[in-house]
Amino acid sequence: MKTKVIINSILFLFCLSLFNLNVTAKEVRYLTGFINEVDGNLILLTNNLAWRTDRHVTAVSMQPIIIVLEEDRNEGFVYIKNEKVNVTLMQNTAAVGKNKLYVPALNEKLNVYSIGTLGEVEKTNSEKGTIKLKNGQNYKVKTDEDKEELSNWSPGTEVVLSKSNNNIRITNIITTNYVSVVSETTTESVKTTN
């Protein structure tokens, strides 16, 4: 009998931990920029940062992108043409003629990033102007333009949630478009206090 209780308890805790994997929010470093030039598997941004991709890519100049960085490393991913591409920060070491030589800059300090929370869209309602993330958080957009933007977002879209002072922004990593939101719990508390 004791063995059965112990096994059931272990199974229960294991299942509970699986559910918590989806609920916990992952804080990430990210940076935004514009593509200046693409040369095979090297992306040069307008801010002079160079990123090596894990495969050849094509993109237009001045295309906005968001690079989500791995924890404590100058590696991460970016979406180009709706495709997730792994990237590594590169540094220019020398020039041979007109060609520049780049090597990974894995240990260089990168100081041009923002902090946010990586999430995934569970569902949106553009008529009501609401968005629910897979971690259970609910938000309401502030403007009609943001309601219209939500109509372009689908379940499973990766987003970055960022906060600055009292403002909350959810940015679609694929399109780099964002919506300004308020937490549904904040909205409810304002309604009950009035």
In 3D space, the residue among 136, 148, 126, 134 whose CA is nearest the CA of residue 184 turns out to be 136
Q: Which residues of the chain have pLDDT under 50?
A: 12-23, 187-194
Q: What is the predicted pLDDT for the residue at 13?
A: 47
Length of the chain: 194
Q: What is the predicted pLDDT for the residue at 46?
A: 93
Q: What is the predicted pLDDT for the residue at 124?
A: 96
Q: What is the predicted pLDDT for the residue at 117?
A: 95
Burial class (CB in 10 A: 0-12, 13-18, 19+), 126: middle
Q: What is the predicted pLDDT for the residue at 24?
A: 54
Q: What is the predicted pLDDT for the residue at 10?
A: 54
First-to-last alpha carbon distance for the chain, in angstroms, is 56
Q: What is the predicted pLDDT for the residue at 83?
A: 92
Q: What is the predicted pLDDT for the residue at 71?
A: 81
